[in-house]
DNA sequence: CTCTCTGCAAAATGTTTGCACACTC
DNA sequence: GAGTGTGCAAACATTTTGCAGAGAG
C-alpha cells in the first residue's frame, strides 16, 4: 500500500468525505516537493477547477492539519506553508534549512542518526522534567545560501 | 560589562539613537522572561508612557531584529513573539517546548551538551553540502503539557 | 537645515467567519 | 430531512506604509 492509498483510507476511516476540493488538495500536496502556502495551493487548484474557492482550501488544510494529515509550518514572513505529514509523504524525515535573505527553503535529510540520538534523549528528558507528552519536533537552521552571499 | 551596557554600546556603535521608545523596548525585553508580542510590549510601554504608539514598537522591533538585537519567533497562531538575542539576554542558550493545546511556551536549557554535539556536526555538514553560511538554529518540541491532558 | 524618528490614519496582508445554498446519506 | 461541504462577501487580526510634524545633530 503506497502513501496515497494510505491517506485515502485514513480519510475515510475518519469519516472525512473525499470531495473534489479535498481530492485536489491531496493531489497537489502529493505531487509537489515544495512548501506551498494556502494561496499557492489555491492557484494551482484554480487553474484546473476555478469553481473551488480559497476559503475551501483554508478549511481543507485546517481539517487535514487537525487530523495530522498535513503539517503547517511558519517559517516567518507571515505566510504559513503546508506539507503532507511524514506518514503520507514520499519524502523522508527531514528538516529545513532556510535562507534568511531569499527565503529559499531546503529540505535536508542528513545527519539523521545523530539527530535521532539527540532527539530521543532530549524528548525523554523533557517529558520527565516538564510533564509533557511530546508529539513532534522541528529543527530549522537559518543562514545565507550560496546564491545570496 | 553586563548584557545591558553591552546592548547599549552595540546600539550606539550601529548609530542607532537611544530614543525613549527604544529605551523602553529594551527595558521591557530585559526585564521579562516571557515571550512578548509587539502588542504585549506596546501595552506595557503604554502604561508608562501613553505617547508611544504601536507603530513605533513594530519599527523598533524590526530595527532590532535586523541588527540581531532581538530574535523574532513565529510559534504559530499568527502572532510573532520577540525576545532579546542570546548575546544580550541574561537567559541561557535555550530552546522551546510548546503546548499545542494551551499554547504555553516553556524555555528549556537542558541537554545542551548533546545538542551542541549534534548541532555542530550538522551545521558543518550542512554548510558544506548546501553551501550555506549558517547563523542560527531553532529547535522546538511540540506536545501536550501536564495541565492540558 | 538636514536627517532621523514618530504618531496617526489608512492600507495591506493573511486568515477566519456568517450565511445561504448545494449536496450526500 | 439532517448534517456536511461550499462559495462569496464581509469581518478580523496583525503588520506595514504614507505622510506630515517633531526633534536631534
Find and give the residue nearest to D15, measured CA to C1': B58
B12 touches strand C (CB under 7 A): no
Query: Mean pLDDT across chain A, nearest whole number?
Result: 91
Per-residue pLDDT averaged across B18-31, rounded?
Answer: 96
Shared-domain flag, residues A61 and A127: no
Shared-domain flag, residues A105 and A58: no
In angstroms, what separates the C-alpha of B88 from chain A's closest C-alpha? 19
User: What is the value of pTM for the model shown?
Assistant: 0.87
A17 touches strand C (CB under 7 A): yes
- Taking CA–CA distances from B143, the nearest residue in chain A reads A134
Query: What is the distance in angstroms measured between the alpha-carbon CA of A79 and the sugar C1' of C24?
Result: 34
In angstroms, what separates the C-alpha of B50 from chain A's closest C-alpha? 28
Shared-domain flag, residues B53 and B101: no
Q: How many CA atoms lie within 13 A of A103 on its CB side?
A: 11
Please tell me the least confidently modeled range out of A24-38, A100-114, A120-134, B37-51.
A100-114
User: Do residues B135 and B92 make contact, with C-beta atoms less than 8 angstroms apart?
Assistant: no
* pLDDT tens per residue across span B91-141: 889 999 988 878 788 999 998 988 999 999 999 999 999 999 998 898 999
Q: Do B118 and A121 touch (CB under 8 A)?
A: no
CB within 8 Å of A43: residues ≥ 6 apart: none
Shared-domain flag, residues A65 and A118: no
CATH at residue A28: 1.10.10.10
| Number of domains into which chain A is organized | 2
**Structure confidence at residue B1 (pLDDT):** 57
Please tell me the distance from the alpha carbon of residue A64 to that of residue A87, in angstroms, as a whole number: 13
CATH at residue A135: 3.30.1490.190
Residue A62 has pLDDT above 60, yes or no: yes
Dihedral in degrees, nearest 10, Cα atoms B78, B83, B85, B89: -170
**Structure confidence at residue A1 (pLDDT):** 57
In angstroms, what separates the C-alpha of B111 from chain A's closest C-alpha? 6
Most confident of A10-14, A143-147, B57-61: B57-61
- By the 10 Å C-beta count (0-12 exposed, 13-18 middle, 19+ buried), A29 is classed as buried
Residues from chain B contacting residue A108 (CB–CB below 8 Å)? 126, 129-130
Task: Write out the residue range of the structural domain in which residue B80 sits.
Answer: 1-90
Q: Where does a domain end: B45, B64, B90?
A: B90
Q: Do B141 and A129 touch (CB under 8 A)?
A: no
Q: Where does a domain end: A64, A90, A116?
A: A90
Asked if the C-beta of A128 comes within 8 angstroms of chain B's C-beta atoms, the answer is: no
Per-residue pLDDT averaged across A85-105, rounded?
Answer: 89
Q: Where does a domain end: B56, B73, B90?
A: B90
Long-range contacts of A29-33 (CB under 8 A, 24+ apart): A29/A70, A29/A82, A29/A83, A29/A84, A30/A3, A30/A4, A30/A84, A30/A88, A30/A89, A30/A90, A33/A91, A33/A107
Confidence of residue B78 (pLDDT cuts 50, 70, 90): confident
C-alpha cell at A90: 514520499
Residue B22 has pLDDT above 90, yes or no: yes
**Structure confidence at residue B63 (pLDDT):** 96
Amino acid at each position: 500500500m503506497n502513501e496515497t492509498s494510505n491517506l485515502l483510507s485514513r480519510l475515510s476511516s475518519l469519516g472525512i468525505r473525499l470531495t473534489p476540493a479535498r481530492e485536489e488538495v491531496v493531489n497537489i500536496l502529493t505531487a509537489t516537493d515544495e512548501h506551498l502556502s494556502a494561496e499557492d495551493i489555491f492557484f494551482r487548484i484554480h487553474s484546473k477547477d476555478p469553481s473551488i474557492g480559497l476559503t475551501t482550501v483554508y478549511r481543507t488544510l485546517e481539517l487535514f492539519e487537525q487530523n495530522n494529515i498535513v503539517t503547517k509550518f511558519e517559517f516567518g514572513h507571515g505566510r504559513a506553508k503546508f506539507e503532507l505529514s511524514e506518514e503520507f509523504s514520499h519524502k523522508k524525515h527531514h528538516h529545513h534549512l532556510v535562507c534568511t535573505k531569499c527565503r529559499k527553503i531546503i529540505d535536508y535529510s542528513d545527519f539523521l542518526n545523530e539527530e535521532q540520538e539527540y532527539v530521543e534523549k532530549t524528548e525523554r528528558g523533557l517529558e520527565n522534567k516538564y510533564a509533557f507528552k511530546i508529539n513532534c519536533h522541528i529543527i530549522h537552521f537559518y543562514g545565507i545560501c550560496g546564491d545570496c552571499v
